[in-house]
Amino acid sequence: MTAPQTLAIDVRGLAKQFGDKRVVDGIDIAVPQGEVWGFLGPNGSGKTTTIRMLCGLLKPDAGEGTCLGHDFRRESEAIKRKTGYMTQHFSFWTDLSIRENLEFTARIYRLPDRRKMVDEALDRLGLGGRQHQLAGGLSGGWKQRMALAACMLHRPDLLLLDEPTAGVDPKARRDFWDQIHALSDEGLTVLVSTHYMDEAERCDRIVYINVGRIVARGTVADVIAQSGLATFVIEGTNARELAPHLRGLDGVESVAFFGAALHVSGHDAHKLETALAPLHSRDGLSVQRARPSLEDVFIQLQQESRGEA
């Protein structure tokens, strides 16, 4: 018999309201220790509010459960000491060097042997050669790397990342994710919100939030299968010019540009085939059914979000 997984986060009925707006509405989430989970959803869907409640920065209106073995409502201070939180916007001191930022952060945490811990963080994130450079002069990728080093100084058990790679170039994003998976292999649990589909596909599981509620969760393959979408890819001569003519046809629920191709999706495959049938006879045009991508599902869920909002 397989031993049950230890849950780093096990919360039920999480809710938060600001004025008359219910931002988070009854979220249940159970994240096993050592896994990397992705939070997806449109802006304003409740991702950041959920993350802030989990790490004790925001008091929930309702909900029960544990985070790192502590009651997430009554023991928020204990949770904070075991959690690293990387905000969406760079929040360190631009007129201090990388080393000075890390040393100051270490003092805030009252860490013993601060110099040694800062040295280890610099080495681990490849920051040693830049340690005396002012943080304000760093590129987005190096700022992100420094912020991750600061979050890891106190050796947390849980890492919460709020759109950490926004505005960062693809190479820096890939390096960042290599670091995240290396940390996960050591037992660190990671919850990350992102709008990048390639990043979502790097997660063990993803959760899609829509107007404060979870509407899809599971592995990437699970979420695609649960969507029930059928997708056709149209490629060839002037394929993109077909988009306005396809929108509104019976069975067509979304039309999205993917480079020079179009992805046409809907939940009724037969209606889609009927709508696209006239295109098969056009010279230079290819219409093929394909497995929906995560981005196809994301676009569909976004459209449904707008309708509910």
CATH of 230-291, one of 3.30.360.10, 3.30.365.10, 3.30.70.330, 1.10.1200.10: 3.30.70.330
Superfamily of 7-219 according to CATH? P-loop containing nucleotide triphosphate hydrolases (3.40.50.300)
Domain limits, the chain = 7-219, 230-291
Instruction: Report pTM.
Output: 0.85
Residue/partner pairs of 286-290 with CB below 8 Å, 24 or more apart: 286/233, 286/234, 286/235, 286/236, 287/232, 287/233, 287/234, 288/232, 288/233, 288/235, 289/230, 289/231, 289/232, 289/233, 290/231, 290/232, 290/233, 290/263
Give residue 99's pLDDT band: very low, low, confident or very high (50, 70, 90): very high
pLDDT tens, residue by residue, 16-68:
999 988 999 999 999 999 999 999 888 888 888 998 898 888 899 999 999 99
Identical fold at 7-219 and 230-291? no
Per-residue pLDDT tens digits for 198-228: 888 999 999 999 888 998 999 999 999 999 9
